[in-house]
């Protein structure tokens, strides 16, 4: 382009603009996660992908992260609800996400891209040979697919498969990539080896965090502000049923997460115990780190007494039978029970967020061992400025000997 410098005229200006546009080409990163993974692990994978996009944007192209629509989650079982193709805006504040890294909804991508086409799908996988010499190292290589591809060619040569329930979407190319390491390990491949404008990473959860619980992790986590309508429902419920407001509880919230920096220990929380009691698949396996209902209730009573709390809010995925038993053992229990209309409006994901929001504002919280649902509550409380002693607690199994408590991941600004 240097040669044009001498023809200084209007045409030249246009050329310069075109050059600049070409130099910072918009490229799209799409991703998906292994189907059985739940809502809260997917929130964690988002953090890894946001980190990758930040790395990609440091050099050259103008990468944008395309948000994978929510749906077909194993746990979202409310009958008569069609929970598919749900945009992120229903659960999270898009402007908040965008203040961290450029993101767009999938339908916006279709519009910008001129159709439901994804240039290249990279299916991430491990190495067929495992760790060579028993040594773990970061690496990435194009390799033949190990498992049977979940995509198949149609008669026009396009690949069809699961694209979040968008049946018209198809891919121009699908190949496999063996990768082990942190998310940004594949950045050079996306920058140098692949020229396609839109690239989708399938099985994105196989990539690790660039730097778990570091500053960048927390920036992205803080940007994952729940959608305002869900927070309002939660706040309303707190004030009506738990006598809890941000003013009295010292949990001020800023619509703009970049301005929020609560002093650790400054949050007091509503005068209630917050409980996340994970059941279903957590008890089917007879895990020894998960309590019986009786065991959980005993712990709840002792915590209420110890912290002088006369109310308890319980978030749980327990089935009807267990709920009945729980209510018998703990008659004064407070739960968020959505009406049919509310459930239709918020869906299972929105109700889970409301539950998490209410738990996040409790004076004292106790969750379930290694539940990502509980982990997300820990983070929310860390952001709000709770004393870690009131947050990083979990139930112990009835016969569990060493009941290690959750790790405190301190927020970094
Ligand atoms: N409303 C509500 N839903 C819950 C609760 N606990 C679990 N769920 C539902 O069950 C799903 C499973 O939990 P996940 O978000 O996948 O996280 P997890 O509990 O760690 O489970 P795994 O990641 O599968 O180990 C959630 O997405 C919710 O749909 C709860 O307390 N309230
Ligand atoms: C990317 O390109 C480089 C250089 O051409 C090559 O050595 C490397 O194997 C390629 N990586 C992948 C994953 O294709
Ligand atoms: C698909 O991608 C692979 C790997 O980048 C490339 O070698 C191949 O030529 C591509 N196929 C088509 C049809 O574009
Ligand atoms: C509600 O909270 C306020 C302020 O914390 C307190 O003064 C009041 O007594 C509480 N009301 C009830 C009914 O508990």
pLDDT at 407 over 90: yes
Across the range 191-203, mean pLDDT stands at: 97
What is the predicted pLDDT for the residue at 2? Answer: 39
Q: How far are the Cα atoms of 140, 182, 204, 206 from residue 209, in angstroms, in the given order?
A: 16, 5, 11, 10
pLDDT at 167 over 60: yes
What's the chain's average pLDDT? 93
Apex CA 209: angle with CA 204 and CA 212, to 5°?
Answer: 150
Which residue among 320, 352, 362, 377 is best mutated to probe the pocket of ligand 1, counting the most ligand atoms within 8 A of its Cβ? Answer: 352
Across the range 193-211, mean pLDDT stands at: 97
Q: What is the pLDDT of residues 119-129, one digit of tens each?
A: 999 999 999 98
- 3-class DSSP state of 29: strand
* CA Rg value for the chain: 24
Hey, which residues does 277 pair with through a beta bridge?
A: 316
Q: How far are the Cα atoms of 250, 271, 309, 373 from residue 303, in angstroms, in the given order?
A: 21, 12, 8, 21
Confidence of residue 12 (pLDDT cuts 50, 70, 90): low
pLDDT at 5 over 50: no
What is the predicted pLDDT for the residue at 286? Answer: 79
Ligand 1 in reach of 372 Cβ (< 6 A): yes
- Going from the Cα of 152 to the center of ligand 1, the distance in angstroms, rounded, reads 32
**CA torsion angle 26 32 38 44 (round to 10):** -40
Does residue 271 contact residue 243 with C-beta atoms inside 8 Å? yes
Does the annotation count 142 as an active-site position? no
Ligand 4 in reach of 243 Cβ (< 6 A): yes
- 3-class DSSP state of 70: strand
The number of beta carbons lying within 10 Å of the beta carbon of residue 361 is 28
Across the range 275-280, mean pLDDT stands at: 97
pLDDT at 187 over 70: yes
Q: What is the pLDDT of residues 285-339, one digit of tens each?
A: 878 999 999 999 999 999 999 999 999 999 999 999 999 999 999 999 999 999 9
The residue whose CA is least distant from atom 9 of ligand 2 is: 141
Give the position, in ligand 1's atom list, of the atom nearest the Cα of 314. Answer: 31
Eight-class DSSP state of 101: S
Q: How far is Cα 383 from Cα 263, in angstroms, rounded to an integer? A: 9
Residue percentage of the chain with pLDDT more than 90: 87
Ligand 4 in reach of 248 Cβ (< 6 A): yes
What is the predicted pLDDT for the residue at 7? Answer: 44
Confidence of residue 79 (pLDDT cuts 50, 70, 90): confident
Ligand 1 in reach of 348 Cβ (< 6 A): yes
Write the burial class of residue 189 (CB in 10 Å: 0-12 exposed, 13-18 middle, 19+ buried): middle
């Amino acid at each position: 382009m240097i040669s044009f410098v001498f023809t200084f005229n209007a045409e030249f200006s246009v050329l310069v603009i075109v050059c600049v546009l070409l130099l910072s080409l918009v490229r799209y990163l799409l991703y998906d996660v292994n189907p059985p993974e739940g809502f809260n692990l997917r929130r964690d994978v988002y953090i890894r992908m946001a980190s990758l996009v930040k790395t990609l944007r440091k050099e050259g192209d103008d990468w944008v992260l395309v948000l994978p629509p929510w749906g077909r989650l194993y746990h979202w079982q409310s009958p008569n609800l069609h929970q598919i193709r749900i945009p992120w805006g229903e659960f999270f504040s898009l402007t908040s996400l965008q203040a961290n890294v450029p993101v767009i909804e999938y339908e916006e991508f279709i519009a910008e891209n001129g159709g439901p086409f994804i240039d290249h799908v990279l299916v991430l996988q491990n190495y067929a040979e495992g760790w060579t010499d028993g040594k773990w190292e970061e690496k990435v290589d194009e390799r033949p697919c190990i498992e049977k591809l979940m995509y198949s060619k149609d008669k026009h040569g396009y690949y069809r498969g699961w694209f979040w329930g968008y049946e018209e979407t198809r891919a121009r190319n699908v190949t496999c990539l063996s990768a082990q390491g942190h998310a940004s390990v594949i950045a050079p491949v996306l920058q140098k080896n692949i020229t396609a404008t839109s690239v989708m990473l399938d099985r994105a959860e196989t990539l690790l965090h660039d730097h778990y619980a570091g500053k960048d992790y927390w920036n992205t986590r803080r940007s994952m502000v729940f959608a305002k309508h869900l927070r309002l429902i939660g706040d309303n419920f707190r004030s009506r049923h738990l006598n809890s407001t941000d003013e009295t509880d010292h949990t001020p919230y800023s619509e703009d997460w970049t301005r929020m920096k609560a002093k650790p220990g400054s949050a007091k929380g509503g005068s209630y115990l917050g409980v996340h009691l994970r059941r279903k698949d957590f008890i089917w396996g007879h895990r020894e780190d998960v309590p019986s209902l009786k065991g959980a209730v005993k712990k709840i009573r002792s915590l209420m007494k110890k912290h002088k709390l006369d109310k308890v809010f319980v978030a749980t995925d327990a089935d009807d039978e267990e709920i009945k038993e729980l209510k018998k053992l703990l008659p004064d229990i407070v739960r968020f029970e959505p009406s049919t209309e509310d459930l239709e409006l918020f869906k299972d994901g929105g109700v889970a967020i409301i539950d998490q929001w209410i738990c996040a504002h409790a004076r004292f919280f106790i969750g379930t061992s290694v539940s990502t649902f509980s982990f997300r509550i820990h983070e929310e409380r860390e952001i709000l400025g709770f004393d870690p002693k009131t947050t990083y607690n979990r139930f112990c199994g009835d016969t569990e000997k060493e009941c290690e408590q959750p790790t405190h991941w301190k927020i970094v600004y």
